[in-house]
Chains A and B, each alone.
Chain A
Amino acid sequence: MSPIRSPEGTPASPGGVNRTGKASPAAAVKDAALAALVAFGLFAMMVGLRTEIGPEGALVLRQRWGDVAILCLLVFLGRLVLSLWLGRRRIAASTAPGRWTARLQQAGRLFAPAMLAVALTLPAITQGDRYLLDLGILVLTYVMLGWGLNIVVGLAGLLDLGYVAFYGIGAYAYALLATEFGFSFWLGLPVAGILAAFWGVLLGFPVLRLRGDYLAIVTLAFGEIIRVVLLNWVSLTGGPDGISGIPRPSFFGLPFTMSGGEGSFAGTFGLEPSPSHRVIFLYYLILGLALLTNWVTIRLRRQPLGRAWEALREDEIACRALGINVTITKLSAFAIGAMFGGFAGAFFATRQAFISPESFTFIESAIILAIVVLGGLGSQVGVAIAALVMIGGFEIFRDLGEYRMLVFGGAMVVIMVLRPRGLVGTRTPSIALGQKRAISGELVGEGHG
């Protein structure tokens, strides 16, 4: 943190916090005016002058000074409020778990079962409301992806920015198996998972020696390579057109048809045929898959492999010194994380019945990683909450239209700045000597991650 103004008169920015904690009104106004000036500099050209294609096909500028004035005024007021109101209570970005976290941890014991109960009864609560169930499926897909990535990033501490590649591999594997070879969903699902795990190992090998940010950028490159190949290998993947007509899942062999005849789901159980049957089935399917991911993670954390992951996350050199096989540990994390990504991909393919490379862009990886980090790296409940907040919030702001991604990105920044350790912000190893305690940011910031 720096003083509010450096000697050269660099103005304080919006969002910075006055170190002295107290701001006299005059200073606050001056400070806010400077922030507004910076905002004017930022917005004058970008917002004030909009480039548009004119009648003759050439670019012309349209002036919008009113919008600039409004934005500057907003920044001025926002900064004023921040320094007058929040400036008193000095909000430093704390890396230690706060009051809120401790309380949340206490509530966590009740909270997780409560969330599970709501998740299990959601179709009954919503009474088959299509929109809410679809939203539930979407959130659960991201919960599952978050939990899958959590194994790689949260437990093993390997920063993976290309997780969406495995999601895509799973989706394409199932789609191709189902459309070309007539695999059923229940046969295609494990195969898609195994294929994704195989690719996880394949990616894992070259990056065994890398760590931290290098690993991040290589996994990002890998994700992009997969996407480019999906986009250009037209004879196999259909290129930008994707694959359509992927078979929908059946209820263990009983298809969901609207006729309700013999051999269909509704006919066999003597129900009125309804399109919501399939949605409810898909909902429970993804809930089951997500819970499977969670269960495997929790079980693995108690076994030598999971312990080795956590040890690797905390200190790779110490791990080697203790004789843990780092190669096997890293590759298994990549493989198992990728496998769950592949499962989620197969589910995505069967739910959408259509996939294209559009669905597997870097932004998806970023969203999943954001969910894991906001969830507090390694916390299962935290990831679920983060997925609910991010994806649910994204849906709530549907009316914002094109501003939605802007708000989404802004929320990522703001949440991270206010709660850098995630929403549930502790990282306690499953096993530790002596007293259970949270690890502070100072201890984990040494570059193992």
Chain B
Amino acid sequence: MAYALQQLINGISLGMIYGLIAVGYTMVYGIIGMINFAHGDVFMVGAFIALITALLLTAGGVLAGPAGILVMLLAAMAVTALYGWTAERVAYRPLRGSFRLAPLITAIGLSIVLQNFVQVSQGARPKPTGTLLPGGWEVMRQDGFVVQFAYTQMLIIGITLAVLAVFTVLVTRTPLGRAMRACEQDRKMAALLGIDTDRTISLTFVIGAALAAVAGTMYLLRYGVIDFYIGFLAGVKAFTAAVLGGIGSLPGAVLGGLLIGLIETFWSAYFSVQYKDVAAFSILVLTLIFLPTGLLGRQEVEKV
């Protein structure tokens, strides 16, 4: 019981990270119908920026508590957003309206570029930071097993919920959100009605990258070690989450992320750690066979 509760806490906090990345995938897929393959690597860049900011703060002797983490978060979001914007501008915009595989190939190329850029500029070795935020709240104790709700996990859940709330307001209540939803429905019509679609798409990438940066910062705080390769697996799993939740659906992405996080955690806890990725991917395959539109997705109409 206590063990399961601990896994539940771990699973939810991991799932929140996946959910944040998945939102970026689902947004971009919704608006321009492509898999932004480099999104996982944007997440990795976010984690690195957060790490560098943390080291800068430590060097300045001002890393203390919430303020330091807030600065890390903001710096990571700002710089990573710039990466997302540049990626769209350089690799995707020239191919707008081209055939479908072209942006997928540039996305794969961009993913290779980002990974190797970080490897060259920051070194290939993993970066251990140690715990930046130790401790936690002891939930319960049973037969000598302590269930701990770590402060980092609280932080992850709290910040993710806050960010998602802001994001939901942004999408549903603001002119930008309206423009984004219009582009998603019919880009040509939206353009005819005076929406700057290029700008809207750019901003979609910027927001997606900023959310990935939040996820990257959370990842760094929680796991305390990052390297240039973390983006690939996290990216694939987040995409799995987006598909599971129904691609194009924002609540679906978060729900999918949570489910993937929980499945992965419980699988590692009760079956085998080695095959946890297989579990996550099998879920993806099963979902697509039996529920091709995902949990909250819309049925796509086949048109000739």
**Are B106 and A416 in contact (CB-based, < 8 A)?**
yes
Tell me if A409 and B109 are in contact (CB < 8 A): yes
One digit per residue, 1 when the CB lies within 8 angstroms of any chain A CB and 0 when it does not, for chain B 112-129 equals 110111111111110111
Q: Which residues of B contact A449 (CB under 8 A)?
A: 99-101
Task: Given A53-B125, A228-B278, A232-B274, answer yes or no on A15-B113 (Cβ-Cβ < 8 Å).
Answer: no
**B111 is an interface residue with CB less than 8 A from chain A:** yes
Complex contact A213–B35 (CB within 8 A): yes
Interface of B is mostly: helix
B93 within 8 A of A: yes
Residues in B neighbouring A442, C-beta threshold 8 A? 97
B35 to chain A, nearest CB (A): 5
Taking CB as reference atom, which chain B residue is nearest A361? B232
- Of the candidates A15, A225, A406, A411, the one whose C-beta lies within 8 Å of that of B90 is A15
A413: chain B residues at CB < 8 Å are 90-91, 106, 109-110, 113
Within 8 A of A (CB), among B121-144: 121-125, 127-130
**Which of B3-11, B160-168, B279-287 is near enough to bind chain A?**
B279-287
Taking CB atoms and an 8 Å cut-off, the chain B residues in 279-304 that contact chain A are 281-282, 284-285, 288-289, 292, 302, 304
Contact between B121 and A50, CB atoms less than 8 A apart: yes
User: A210 is contacted by which of B100, B120, B292 (Cβ under 8 Å)?
Assistant: B292
Interface residues of B in 66-113 (CB under 8 A from A): 75, 79, 82-83, 85-86, 89-91, 93-95, 97-102, 104-106, 108-113
How many Å lie between the Cα of A447 and that of B45 in the bound state? 31
Q: Give CA–CA (A221, B260) in the complex, Å.
A: 14
Contacting residues, chain B, for A153 (C-beta < 8 A): 101
* A13→B89 contact, CB < 8 A: yes
Tell whether B221 is near chain A: CB-to-CB under 8 Å: no
Considering the chains assembled together, what is the distance between the CA atoms of A61 and B121 in angstroms? 12
Query: Which segment of B12-20, B47-55, B181-189 sits at the interface?
Result: B47-55
Q: Is A341 an interface residue when CB atoms closer than 8 A count as contact?
A: no
Across-interface contacts of A402 in B (CB, < 8 A): 116, 119-120, 124
Q: Are B198 and A409 in contact (CB under 8 A)?
A: no
Tell me if B202 counts as interface (CB < 8 A to partner A).
yes
Within the assembled complex, what's the spacing in Å between the Cα atoms of A214 and B127?
34
**CB neighbours of B129 from chain A (8 A):** 59
Question: Which of B79, B99, B196 is in CB contact (< 8 Å) with A41?
Answer: B79
Give chain A interface residues in 202-226, CB to chain B under 8 Å.
206-207, 209-210, 212-214, 216-218, 220-222, 224-225
Taking CB as reference atom, which chain A residue is nearest B86? A13
Stretch in B151-159, B236-244, B250-258, B263-271 with 4+ CB within 8 Å of A: B236-244
Closest B residue, CB atoms, query A231: B274
Whole-angstrom distance between the alpha carbons of A411 and B82 in the complex? 22
Q: A153-167 toward B: CB 8 Å interface, digit per residue (1/0)?
A: 100000100000000
Establish whether residues B109 and A420, one from each chain, have CB atoms under 8 Å apart when the complex forms. Answer: no
Q: Tell me which of A231, A362, A408, A412 has the highest count of chain B C-beta atoms within 10 A of its own C-beta.
A: A412
Q: Is the CB of A59 within 8 A of B288?
A: no
Partner of B116, one of A15, A406, A420: A406
Distance in angstroms from B25 CB to nearest chain A CB is: 10
Contact for B79 among A45, A59, A209, A224, CB less than 8 A: A45
Q: Can you pick out 8 interface pairs between chain A and chain B where the beta carbons lie within 8 Å of each other?
A: A2-B199, A95-B97, A206-B289, A213-B104, A408-B112, A412-B106, A421-B99, A449-B100
| Partner-A contacts on B (CB < 8 A) | 29, 33-35, 45, 48-49, 51-53, 55-56, 59, 75, 79, 82-83, 85-86, 89-91, 93-95, 97-102, 104-106, 108-113, 115-125, 127-130, 196, 198-199, 202, 232, 236, 239-240, 243, 274-275, 277-278, 281-282, 284-285, 288-289, 292, 302, 304
* A residues lining the B interface (CB < 8 Å): 1-2, 6, 8, 10, 13-17, 38, 41-42, 45-47, 49-53, 58-61, 93, 95, 153, 159, 206-207, 209-210, 212-214, 216-218, 220-222, 224-225, 228-229, 231-232, 315, 317-318, 362-363, 366, 369-370, 373-374, 377, 402-403, 405-406, 408-413, 416-417, 420-421, 441-442, 444-445, 447, 449
- Apart from A13-B90, A61-B52, 4 more pairs, CB < 8 Å: A38-B86, A217-B236, A406-B112, A409-B113
